[in-house]
A and B are shown apart, each in its own frame.
Chain A
Amino acid sequence: MIRTVKPKNARAKRALEKKEAKLVENTKQALFIPGQTSNKALHDIIVDLSALKKPDMKRFNRKNDIKPFEDVSNLEFLSEKNDTSLMVLTTNSKKRRNNLTFIRTFGYKIYDMIELQVAENMKLFQDFKAQTFNVGLKPMFTFQGSAFDTHPVYKQIKSLFLDFFKGETTNLQDVAGLQHVISMTIQGDFQDGEPLPNVLFRVYKLKTYRSEQGGKKLPRVELQETGPRLDFKIGRVHTPTADMVKEAMKRPKQLEPKTKKNVERDDMGDQFGRVHLGKQDLGKLQTRKMKGLKSKFDQVGDEEDYLNDRESELNVTEDSGDDSYGEDFTTATDIQVDEPAKKKQRSN
């Protein structure tokens, strides 16, 4: 017997509905978890990272004994319980110093994981003493380095950070909301076989100045660093299975724009619509009106039989192949060829 969770009150019902899979998804929520070996530096880092992710985040205060590359059941449980598909776990060991594990889940199952170790020269918000930007704004992203398009690990990092910080998906963006930029740079290009270079994570605030060259529209952009400044060394990586990727990349068919049939544009930009008409019923054709053809003069009964007889006789003569029409006349088949090409111009 399958166990079905039936909500006991309206609030629980709403909460369950909110958790359900949707066609248009909500912003991914992030969960920050201090690991068993977390320390002060890591705590400060996740405070800063969570400030960038606000308000779509949750941060735990207590330490959790989770080893993501050995057992994922705890993480999957926390993902389902908090309905968060992005997680960051902090651990520290001699081998992997100041380690952040970024985890993404798909349907409460682990999608991918990557370990990023913070190098020595990190700086936080507070070290810059710079004016920061408003909470909850959509950031801009710059990715520097060709490996972000070619190397699988860096592709994963690009996808992860875009997914993590992009915030709400909108088609309207306030110009005044373009306040900060997240910059990811690969520390130099590299060849196959060389160790993977670090990824440099920087956050800048935008300052725009009126420029003579840009005219009224385009400003000159300058940047001011606000932090956090983190250099990530790449550790262990868990990649998603091909099946999971296929399932996760599916786009709902219902949201695809509908193709408009029978409407086309020509080279001049005029719009044409093609109208398909049914077969015309020639029996109802209005012919010349005469007094003698009025319905009150109709002979009831006999006449209809007589007409039917004539028609069947006519058909027989046609079938016999003795065609009385000359070749100069247009035949019925010729007309049918022309018919679909008939275009009716729309109002414009």
Chain B
Amino acid sequence: MSTEKKDYKSLPVTVEKPIPVTYDLGNLSVFDSNVLDKNALDSSNAKREESIKDLTRDNVQLLINQLLSLPMKTTTDSVSSTMTLLQLPEPTTELPREKPLPKAKQLTKWEKFAAKKGIKSKVKEGRKIYDEASGEWVNKWGYKGANKKLDSQWLVEVDEDVKGTEKELVDPRSLGRQERKRLIKKNERQQKKNLKNNA
């Protein structure tokens, strides 16, 4: 064992190649385009595995020499462990992507119109509103929303617009609900239309 160790100490760490090898350090790879000996690599050759291993070893030695001369960074995670990190360059070998590049989001009909007219989108005010009567912050819409206030009142004023039409006798509380549902449906229709137009 001790003789073997001495052996490694005196062995060289440099390798000479007729054609210099090329590297892609970002992918930790080395490309050797030197002439390969056909007989040494033939499956009938008893020393075949040895020759492949020697060939690979030389190339790995070259790669390791390159890698260890890259800029290094030492980090200490905890008290005992330290890590030495190599800063790799960008990979140079072009490999295909997995999926096409993500497409930019298509503008809706309103967004196109707003851009044309120079209308800026409103600053978001949040969905809570202060309710003076109860002294609490309530949702503008949704669960216990402020837009449903009228629905639970015992007395509701009939809207001026409704007066004199056939809807005059309908419960004004249910009219408010109908209006909200109509707006939701309308919005869904618009969303679908935008999807269809942008497809």
Q: Do A225 and B53 touch (CB < 8 A)?
A: yes
A173 touches B52 (CB 8 A): no
Does A301 make an interface contact (CB < 8 A)?
no
Residue of A nearest to B53 (CB): A223
B87 CB to closest chain A CB, in angstroms? 6
Question: A143-B31, A175-B86, A185-B55 are contacts. A231–B43 as well, Cβ < 8 Å?
Answer: yes
Do A111 and B96 touch (CB < 8 A)? yes
**What is the minimal beta-carbon distance from A166 to any residue of chain B, in angstroms?**
6
Tell me whether A218 and B68 are in contact (CB under 8 A).
yes
Chain B 11-35 interface residues, beta-carbon cutoff 8 Å to A: 11-14, 26-35
Interface string of B92-112 (1 = CB under 8 A from A): 011111111110000000000
* A contact residues around B14 at 8 Å (CB): 213
Residues A2 and B195 in contact, CB atoms below 8 Å apart: yes
Q: When chains A and B are docked, how far (Å) is the Cα of A158 from the Cα of B100?
A: 22
Residues of chain A lying within 8 A (CB to CB) of residue B2:
none
Q: State A106–B97 Cα separation when bound (angstroms).
A: 7
B97 close to A222 (CB less than 8 A): no
Residue numbers in A under 8 Å from B192 (CB-CB): 1
Picked from B41, B53, B60, the residue with its CB within 8 Å of the CB of A188 is: B41
Given A142-B59, A211-B13, A187 and B41 contact (CB-CB distance below 8 Å): yes
Q: Are B27 and A181 in contact (CB under 8 A)?
A: no
Q: Is the CB of A162 within 8 A of B93?
A: yes
Contact of B96 among A104, A141, A148 (CB under 8 A): A104
- In whole angstroms, how far apart are the Cα atoms of A149 and B199 in the complex? 41
In the complex the two chains form, is B32's CB within 8 Å of A143's CB? Answer: yes
Per the CB 8 Å criterion, the residue count for chain A at the interface is: 79
B28 touches A149 (CB 8 A): no
In the assembled complex, the Cα of A20 lies from the Cα of B42 at a distance in Å of 47
Report the bound CA distance from A220 to B68 in whole Å.
12
Q: Are B85 and A174 touching (Cβ within 8 A)?
A: yes
Closest CB of chain B to A323's CB: distance in Å? 47
Complex alpha-carbon distance, A22 and B59, angstroms: 35
Q: A159-B95, A188-B42, A221-B60 are in contact. Are A141 and B29 (CB under 8 A)?
A: yes
The verdict on A219 contacting B95 (CB below 8 Å), with A21-B102, A185-B41, A204-B56 known, is: no
Contact indicator A189/B38 (Cβ below 8 Å): yes
Q: How far is the CB of B173 from chain A (nearest CB, A)?
A: 32
- For chain B, give the interface size range: 35 or more
Q: Is B36 part of the contact surface with A, judged by Cβ < 8 Å?
A: yes
Question: Which of B9, B31, B68, B199 has the most chain A CB atoms inside 10 A of its CB?
Answer: B31
**Is A172 an interface residue, CB under 8 A from the partner?**
yes
State the CA gap A104–B99 with chains docked (Å). Answer: 11
Contact residues in B for A174 (Cβ distance below 8 Å): 83-86
With both chains docked as a complex, state the minimum distance between the C-beta of A26 and any C-beta of chain B, in angstroms.
8
Taken together as a complex, chains A and B put the C-alpha atoms of A98 and B37 apart, in Å, by 27
| Contact residues in B for A142 (Cβ distance below 8 Å) | 29-30, 32, 56, 59-60, 63
Binds B, one of A61-69, A243-251, A261-269: A243-251
CB < 8 Å neighbour of A221 from B57, B90, B195: B57
Partner of B33, one of A1, A149, A200, A213: A149
Bound-state CA distance A335–B65 (Å) is: 57
Q: Output the least CB separation between A206 and chain B (Å).
A: 7
Is the Cβ of B99 less than 8 Å from the Cβ of A140?
no
**A171 located at the interface, meaning its Cβ lies under 8 Å from any Cβ of chain B in the complex:** yes
A residues less than 8 Å from B145 (CB atoms): none
Residue of B nearest to A185 (CB): B52
Residues on B with C-beta less than 8 A from A121 are 43
B73 CB-CB contact with A under 8 Å: yes
Given A145-B36, A185-B36, A186-B36, also A22-B102 (CB < 8 A): yes
A326 in the interface (beta carbon within 8 A)? no
B174 close to A (CB within 8 Å): no
Q: For the complex formed, measure the closest distance between the CB of B19 and the CB atoms of chain A, giving whole angstroms.
A: 8
- Contact between B100 and A21 (Cβ–Cβ < 8 Å)? yes
Distance, CA A158 to CA B27, complexed state (A): 12
Which residues of A79-122 have CB atoms within 8 Å of chain B's CB atoms?
85, 104-108, 111, 119, 121
- For B30, list chain A residues within 8 Å (CB): 140-143
What are 8 A-B residue pairs whose CB atoms fall within 8 Å in the complex?
A21-B101, A106-B99, A107-B100, A108-B99, A183-B52, A214-B13, A248-B100, A252-B101
A140-B28, A210-B8, A250-B100 given. 8 additional CB < 8 A pairs?
A85-B98, A140-B60, A170-B88, A174-B86, A185-B52, A206-B60, A220-B11, A229-B49
